[in-house]
Structure 1
Amino acid sequence: MFKHENEEYMLSSPSMTDRPKSILKQSPLRTGFSRSNLKVSINLPDNEISLAHSKLLDFVEVDEKQGSSNMVQRSHVPVRSPVCFPSSMTNYWSWCDEGLKSSRSILEVLREVDADILALQDVKGEEEKAMKPLSDLAGALGMKYVFAESWAPEYGNAILSKWPIKRWKVQKIADNDDFRNVLKATIDVPWAGEVNMHCTQLDHLDENWRMKQIGALFQANDPPHILAGGLNSLNGADYSAERWADIVKYYGDMGKPRPKTEVMKFLKGKGYIDAKDFAGDCEPVVMIAKGQNVQGTCKYGTRVDYIMSMPESAYKFVPGSYSVVSSKGTSDHHLVKVDITKPAKIPKQSAIKPQPKSLLKLVRTTPTCCSSRPIY
């Protein structure tokens, strides 16, 4: 929420060419959409790692009752493959395409979130079709957008905003062999000033490659910004030793590289502030996997989607505002949101306690993400 004196203005933000392929021209905001009055996080179904662990325990119990070998049964634990197609290729755009459809559409979910700024990954925008379906989504939400093709033709990162997008650029990360990028946009927030948003999605398998990608971001000497996207790395402080052991075992059983935490250690070492540290109480109570202190953002129950801010940023996270919002079947990742505030600057010689001059609601969402090509 953006406040200025006696008036209130809503602002929320959740995500290889030299510039984005297209930008939506300014259009009048639609006023026919009702805002959701609830600021809640929705319970998520149990995650695959916990389910796999519980199935393993069930098999052990059956073995004990039947007197069979535990070793034999453990090798046949039925768990789903972590490899999946990007949701954007199936039901992500269910509101406008035929094919798989969830009970809700991404348009409906984003209307309920009612964000003023969105950072999205795995977005489809066909230049030959006037950037549809991205342009349709932006138009229906009354937002402008910038888009950067990334991991596949016509798919990439996008930043949507209800406020004017003043500048934008695309930076390739790692090297010329890497198809991923970071989309950078400067948004002109009325009565508050500019806010710099970075939207990206790092490699979904190799932590060493993710380190190269995130390291490339610091070579650009960018101004203070807010980074939002699917970093696809884990934060060790989120998990207990037992939970971490379950995660490592599950990854090994699935043939996935061992999970690592180098990217998050690197960002924390650079002083980046994690929006998760500003979480509040949610209604209803958020379902969290046993052995971790945060709600997961993907089907494995782990947190791989983040909103982080440089310490020098003029915008600060609002305590109690961080939450994970269910994507309600439109994606295999969930939406992450947080509010930010821009405190008023007080002259150094003044002994008066600084008072916030403006408050900005920031929401970082990811429409689709998965293990083979995650988003969000």
Structure 2
Amino acid sequence: MAFDLPATPDFRVGTVNVHVFINSTGNSNVKALASILGPLNLDVLAVEEANNNKDWKFLCDELSLTHTAFGAIHGSSYGNAIASRHPIVEHYSQSSSTNPVGGYRAMLQCRFGGDHPFVQNRRFAVTHLDHLNEDDRLTQIKEFYSLNHNINVLAGDMNSLTQSDYSDKYFHEVVAGKRERFRREMPRFELTQLLTNTWGLQDAFQYLNPTLKDEQVATCRYGTRIDYIFLRPLSNDEWVLKECFIVDTHQATDHNAVVATFQHKSKY
């Protein structure tokens, strides 16, 4: 009698800026975030603007993500964090050596153990780059990210734009228009171009959703996409990107979440 081998489960990664677990009215958003993210059945959640406190523990418990790593920024309890269903066998947080007007930044990297084949030989990272100046963002990512680190999944709030996300009309009226009205930095694209065109990372959302534009891709209140999941597949990778989508957080935080799902080639 022949027996079917058990199917290899998909692997799902999510990222969201949790805004120190406070919503726009000044109240806790952790229960709302848990209700939004819970049905997604995430394997890994990477967050920015987190506090290493009871709210972070509550969110991890609610999502059944029992393994955690926190990367504080210069000794504080505020920073980036990762929660996982799979054991974290190594983690390292690197803080920026410069302190621009936008403040210190950091990148948290980790590797997972356990028996899920997707995590084998992959390094994951989360970062939150400067919110004021593209030159500072470029300095930070060049300091954090080295090809020698071999990061395979890079998630986070990059505070940077991708030019092809926007129609001409939307770009001039919303993207550039809002920034001009709020006296923010005018649109620049060097950071995402460096990651994709120069360093060869794959923008997961754009790769699978090349026709979506304008408000369809927005992840922040300015109507732009600044939250990303970037990929560097393994050589002869047996896993492919199945889907990548934006999750409306209904203003629980000032960012939407981004989720990517990976599927083993045997399912194709």
Q: Tell me the TM-score range normalised by the shorter chain.
A: 0.7 to 0.9
For 1:332, the equivalent position in structure 2 comes to: 254
Structure 2 vs 1, CA of residues 308 and 149 (structure 1 numbering), >3 Å: closer, same or farther?
A: same
Structure 2 vs 1, CA of residues 229 and 299 (structure 1 numbering), >3 Å: closer, same or farther?
A: same
Structure 1 distance, partners of 2:164, 2:81, is 30
Cα contact 1:297–1:333 (8 A) shared by 2: yes
Structure 1 distance, partners of 2:185, 2:215, is 23
How far has the Cα of 1:328 moved from its partner?
2.4
Cα contact 2:159–2:227 (8 A) shared by 1: yes
Aligned counterpart in structure 2 of residue 273 of structure 1, from 202, 225, 242:
202
For 2:186, the equivalent position in structure 1 comes to: 258
Q: Does 1:90 align with 2:22?
A: yes
How far has the Cα of 1:241 moved from its partner?
2.2
Give secondary structure in 2 for the equivalent of 1:183: strand
Aligned counterpart in structure 2 of residue 114 of structure 1, from 41, 46, 68:
41
For 1:124, the equivalent position in structure 2 comes to: 51
For 2:81, the equivalent position in structure 1 comes to: 158
Q: For structure 2, which runs of at least 5 residues remain unmatched after alignment?
A: none
For 2:13, the equivalent position in structure 1 comes to: 13
TM-score by length of 1: 0.60
Aligned counterpart in structure 2 of residue 184 of structure 1, from 92, 104, 109:
109
* CA deviation map 1:146-180 (0-9, x unaligned): 00113893221111000111110111235366521
Give secondary structure in 2 for the equivalent of 1:133: helix
Task: Look up the equivalent residue of 2:203 and give its one-letter code.
Answer: D
Aligned counterpart in structure 2 of residue 201 of structure 1, from 110, 128, 134:
128
Structure 2 distance, partners of 1:206, 1:156, is 19
Task: Look up the equivalent residue of 1:137 and give its one-letter code.
Answer: L
Equivalent residue pairs, number: 255
* Bigger fraction of residues in helix: 2
Task: Look up the equivalent residue of 1:243 and give its one-letter code.
Answer: Y
How far has the Cα of 1:279 moved from its partner?
3.1
Select the structure of larger CA radius of gyration. 1
Aligned counterpart in structure 2 of residue 141 of structure 1, from 31, 39, 63:
63
Structure 2 distance, partners of 1:8, 1:317, is 13
Structure 1 distance, partners of 2:68, 2:140, is 24
Structure 2 distance, partners of 1:331, 1:154, is 19
Write the mapping of 1:64-79 to structure 2, written as runs, cut at 5 A.
none
Structure 2 distance, partners of 1:102, 1:138, is 14
Structure 2 vs 1, CA of residues 189 and 275 (structure 1 numbering), >3 Å: closer, same or farther?
A: farther
Give aligned-pair identity as a percent: 24
Structure 2 distance, partners of 1:139, 1:270, is 36
Structure 2 vs 1, CA of residues 294 and 151 (structure 1 numbering), >3 Å: closer, same or farther?
A: farther
Which structure is higher in RCO with an 8 Å CA cutoff and minimum separation 6?
1
Task: Look up the equivalent residue of 1:235 and give its one-letter code.
Answer: T
Structure 2 distance, partners of 1:103, 1:154, is 17
Structure 2 vs 1, CA of residues 152 and 301 (structure 1 numbering), >3 Å: closer, same or farther?
A: farther
How far has the Cα of 1:263 moved from its partner?
0.1
Write the mapping of 1:295-334 to structure 2, written as runs, cut at 5 A.
295-312=217-234, 314=237, 316-319=239-242, 321-334=243-256
Cα contact 1:173–1:214 (8 A) shared by 2: no
Structure 2 distance, partners of 1:151, 1:336, is 27
Report the more deviating stretch, 99-108 or 200-209: 99-108
Write the mapping of 1:10-49 to structure 2, written as runs, cut at 5 A.
11-15=11-15
For 1:214, the equivalent position in structure 2 comes to: 141
Structure 2 vs 1, CA of residues 312 and 173 (structure 1 numbering), >3 Å: closer, same or farther?
A: farther
Q: For structure 1, which runs of at least 5 residues remain unmatched after alignment?
A: 16-85, 126-130, 282-287, 343-355, 360-376
Cα contact 2:151–2:232 (8 A) shared by 1: yes
Cα contact 2:92–2:110 (8 A) shared by 1: yes
Cα contact 1:103–1:329 (8 A) shared by 2: no
Cα contact 2:178–2:222 (8 A) shared by 1: no
